[in-house]
Amino acid sequence: MSLETTGNDTGEREHLARCVQQIAKTRSRTAFAEIFEYFAPRLKSYLVRLGSDANGAEEIVQEVMLNVWRKADQYDQRQASVSTWIFRIARNRRIDSHRRMNKPELDAEDPMLHPAKIEEPDITVNRAQVETVVRRQLETLPDDQLVLLKAAFYEGLSHSQIAKKFGLPLGTVKSRIRIAFQRLKGQLERDQH
């Protein structure tokens, strides 16, 4: 019995369900051809109405029908009609396709995609020496300056956030941080000479 001879919606739904069952059980090419002939043009029309171009819609239809062939055994007639099942697959494939198209292409030359260059040993040693001096000098700062520096650099707070957190005027926060920097800079310059 072909789809043209079924005549009513219930008979058509039952026939489509039997076709999918035959695909699942025996890999019936005849049943698949009927499903394909029935759904391919409907799916393409549906996808175009959703905004896909004709070529994109055809590609999605091919993916959907391949999915029907591969996963026919997952169809459960008690859960949905064949139509609902296939159109849901198509809708999901279209969403996936849309997401893929909207993702920017990665630029192979983007520096963020390349590992950092290995630092020369003398630069590494120099950096370690500077870090040691900075840590030592931080310990010499008065607590009122050190606490504000830590809030700015370890906690990432802005000057106004620091002022609010410690209940200080904004000008006081700025001046204490500036004085602390000047002290550190002076000491680093003396240590490097």
Report the CATH number at residue 84: 1.10.1740.10
**Could you say which of 102, 134, 162 is where a domain stops?**
102
The tens digit of pLDDT for each residue in 61-105 reads 999 999 999 999 998 888 889 999 999 999 988 888 877 776 666
Reply yes or no on whether the pLDDT at 2 is more than 60: no
98 and 185 together in one domain? no
98 and 23 together in one domain? yes
Give the domain range for residue 88: 3-102
State residue 3's pLDDT score.
45
Measured CA to CA, the distance from residue 55 to residue 72 in angstroms comes to 25
Q: What is the mean pLDDT of the chain?
A: 83
Where does residue 158 fall: left (phi above 0), alpha (psi -120 to 50 degrees), or beta otherwise?
beta
Percent of residues, the chain, with pLDDT higher than 90: 38
Per-residue pLDDT, averaged over 121-130, amounts to: 74
**Could you say which of 102, 131, 164 is where a domain stops?**
102
Pair of tokens at residue 143 = 């607590």
Measured CA to CA, the distance from residue 92 to residue 90 in angstroms comes to 5
128 and 180 together in one domain? yes
State residue 168's pLDDT score.
92
State residue 191's pLDDT score.
67
> 4: pLDDT confidence band, cut at 50, 70 and 90?
very low
The tens digit of pLDDT for each residue in 7-20 reads 467 888 899 999 99
111 assigned to some structural domain: no
The tens digit of pLDDT for each residue in 17-45 reads 999 999 999 999 999 999 999 999 999 99
7 and 81 together in one domain? yes
Measured CA to CA, the distance from residue 104 to residue 113 in angstroms comes to 14
26 assigned to some structural domain: yes
Q: What DSSP string runs through 117-150?
A: PPPPHHHHHHHHHHHHHHHHHHHHS-HHHHHHHH
98 and 7 together in one domain? yes
Measured CA to CA, the distance from residue 100 to residue 165 in angstroms comes to 45
**Could you say which of 102, 136, 168 is where a domain stops?**
102
109 assigned to some structural domain: no
